[in-house]
Structure 1
């Protein structure tokens, strides 16, 4: 099964906002799991993933700023 979240042209500001919100949701998910998890190994894994997401967000914002104008975005979720 596949769910299309978005597909199309977005202004640089809209693209940055959309991607930022998606990544923030994922970060919040991991933060909530950290509060509930007691296993140190799981917490470390989630903290590492949060850092990775923050780095990705920084890099995508820089990329969008350099591109300017409009960007084509496409995002799908595939259930396998």
Structure 2
């Protein structure tokens, strides 16, 4: 099953806004999963993912800000069962 989450052409401001909001949701997910009961290994893994997402967001913003044209964004979620 696939869910077409984003598909379209956006100006730079809207593209940055959409990508920023999506990445912030993912960061918040990882932050919420860190609890007192989390193992040190799990916490470090989630912190690493958060740092990577922050880096990716920075790079995406930098890339988009350098463009003076419309930006195409396509994002699809693929859902499948483990066999």
TM-score tier after normalising by the smaller chain length = over 0.9
Residues 37 and 13 from structure 1, CA distance in 2 versus in 1: closer, same or farther, beyond 3 angstroms? farther
Q: Which consecutive segments of 4 or more residues in structure 1 shift more than 6 A? A: none
Task: Provide the alpha-carbon RMSD of the alignment.
Answer: 1.0
Tell me the number of residue pairs that the alignment of Structure 1 and Structure 2 aligns. Answer: 80
Q: Specify every segment of 5 or more residues in structure 2 that has no aligned partner in the other structure, as ranges.
A: none
TM-score for both structures, normalised by structure 1: 0.95
Distance 2:41 2:51 in 1: 16
TM-score for both structures, normalised by structure 2: 0.91
Q: Specify every segment of 5 or more residues in structure 1 that has no aligned partner in the other structure, as ranges.
A: none
The corresponding residue for 2:55 is: 55
